[in-house]
A and B are shown apart, each in its own frame.
Chain A
Amino acid sequence: MTDEPRPIDCEEALERLYDYLDGELTAARSEQVRRHLERCAPCLKLSKFESAYVRFLEARARTRCAPDHLRRRILERLLFEGGGAEAP
C-alpha cells in the first residue's frame, strides 16, 4: 500500500456518498471520497446538500419520547409479572 489512495471518479464518489456521510466507510475508502470532494466542486456541492438533508432528517425525526403513562404501565406490568425473568 502506498500513502496516496487510488483516485476515484465522480460516479464512484457519489455511489459511496451516503456511506461516507454515515461514517460507514473504512478509513482508506473514506479518504478516497474526501480527496475526490476536495478536488471536485460539483460533487462537493452535492455532498453538502445531502449532508444537510440527512442532518435535517435526524434532527426532525428524533424528537419524540415515550409518554409517562406508558412508562408507568410497563413498570406496573413488570411488577405483576413477578419473577418471570432471570438475570442473564
Chain B
Amino acid sequence: MPDPERSRRTFETQVLPLLDAVYRVALRLAGEELLAEDLVQETMLKAYRAWHQYQPGTNLRAWLLTILRNTFINQYRRRKRAGPHVDVHAIEAHTVFGEVQDVDPEGAFFHRIVDDEVLRAIDALPDEFRETLVLSDVEGLPYAEIAEITDVPVGTVKSRLFRARQALQRTLYQYAVDMGYIRKRDA
C-alpha cells in the first residue's frame, strides 16, 4: 500500500528545490507577481496530482516547466496584461556591434543598465521569443530541453533565441543611448 506521507516527502524533496526556477519562468510568462504566484501554485498542485506519471530519471525540471507552460497557455494567457502586439517578422534581428565597436567594443554599457530595465525589456518581447529567451538565458537550459518544453524543433528554438537575443540587445542599446550611457555613432 502506498504511503501518502512518504510520497509527499519524496515530492517535496525533489520538486521544491526547483521552485525558484519555476517561479522565475512564471514571472516572465505572467508578467506580474500575483499572477505568477497563482500560476506556480497551480503548477505545483498539478505536478503533485500527476506525480505518479513522472518517470524517475527523466528530466524533472523539463517536466515541471512543461506543466507550467501548458497551465499558463490554457488558463492564464487571457488574464495576462495585454501583451505586446508585435509582428515577429518585423523585428530587427542583427547585432548592434557595428554601431558600438568604435566606442565600446566590449559592451561595457550593458552593465550600466539596471535589472528592472532588463526585465522590462524581456517582458516586452513577443510570447514565443520571450519564453525561449527566458528558458535559455534566465534558466540556462540546453536547446534540446527548451525544444521539449515549448514543443518545437531544435532549429526553431535556435532561430527564436537568435532573434530574441538580438531584438533585446537592440532595445537595451537604444535605452543606453537614451540614458546617455553610450554615445550613438554619428550617422
Contact = CB atoms under 8 A, between A and B. Distances in A.
A53 B108 CA distance: 9
Interface in A31-68: 45-46, 48-50, 52-54, 56-58, 60-67
Looking at A19, A64, A73, which has the most chain B CB atoms within 10 Å of its CB? A64
Contacts of B106: 48-49, 52
A18 to B, nearest CB: 6
B11 A85 contact: yes
A86 interface: yes
Contacts of B19: 66, 70-71, 74
B95 A57 contact: no
B137 A88 contact: no
A66 B115 contact: no
Contact of B107 (A53, A64, A87): A53
Interface string A73-84: 111011101111
Nearest to A70: B37
Interface of B is mostly: helix
Contact of B10 (A18, A74, A87): A87
Contacts, number: 146
Contacts of A60: 113, 115, 118-119
B134 A66 contact: no
Contact of A83 (B4, B23, B115, B137): B4
A40 to B, nearest CB: 14
Contact of A87 (B41, B51, B100, B140): B51
A49 to B, nearest CB: 5
Given A46-B97, A85-B11, A61 B122 contact: yes
Looking at A45, A61, A81, which has the most chain B CB atoms within 10 Å of its CB? A61
B71 to A, nearest CB: 14
Interface in B1-43: 2-8, 10-12, 16, 19-20, 22-24, 27, 33, 37, 40-41
Contact of A73 (B22, B41, B115, B138): B41
A3 interface: no
A22 interface: yes
Given A24-B142, A83-B2, A88-B52, 8 more contacts: A64-B27, A66-B20, A67-B33, A70-B19, A73-B41, A75-B16, A85-B52, A87-B10
6 contacts: A48-B105, A48-B106, A52-B110, A53-B165, A58-B138, A78-B48
